[in-house]
Amino acid sequence: MGKREVNRAVFLDRDGVINHAILCDGKAFSPRTREAFRLVEGAASAVRELHGAGFKVLVVTNQPDIARGLLSAADLDWMTGRVLSETHVDELLVCPHDDRDACTCRKPLPGMLQAGAKKWGIDLTQSFMIGDGWKDMEAGKKAGCTCILIDAPYNQGVGCDYRVKGIGSAVEIITRKY
């Protein structure tokens, strides 16, 4: 009997991984305008490398500024379009809710990762979560993924499987493992 093909994925947080987070008083925030939205150098090549290594690449992002009325749906759609067209990720999943909405998709819950896994037939135990915050690491851990944290001044003390300087270093770890 032949070896079963395993569908693996790398789940990426958006802000702080694919695009630059906005720093204010030592805290990271999502960009709220098109002018503030800047992709991280090397994000597109990292996605290409992951695809070349046989991974699906899905972005999973909390965007509570939609629920809070601080980000327009049109601007979020524009940002999503830029990520999709410039990085060629397989899918971008968004949770537009705030904590008070008590949804199952908002990280640190693993709902977006589980939904992506179901749609794409992904084995979460053979997959990775790359993020820059505790909610990303917790969602990845709850889903059964290996968790890689992009090091930043605002996330010291956050637990993870690996801590790296940027998305390129995370891709090196993943491609070495597979």
| Positions marked active-site | 13, 15
Q: What is the DSSP string of the chain?
A: -PPPPP-EEEEE-SBTTTBPPEEETTEEE---STTT--BPTTHHHHHHHHHHTTEEEEEEEE-TTTTTTSS-HHHHHHHHHHHHHHH--SEEEEE---GGG--SSSTTSSHHHHHHHHHHT--GGG-EEEESSHHHHHHHHHHT-EEEEEP-GGGTT---SEEESSHHHHHHHHHHH-
Q: What is the rounded CA–CA span in Å between residue 100 and residue 86? A: 33
Q: What is the rounded CA–CA span in Å between residue 170 and residue 113? A: 18
Q: What is the rounded CA–CA span in Å between residue 133 and residue 7? A: 26
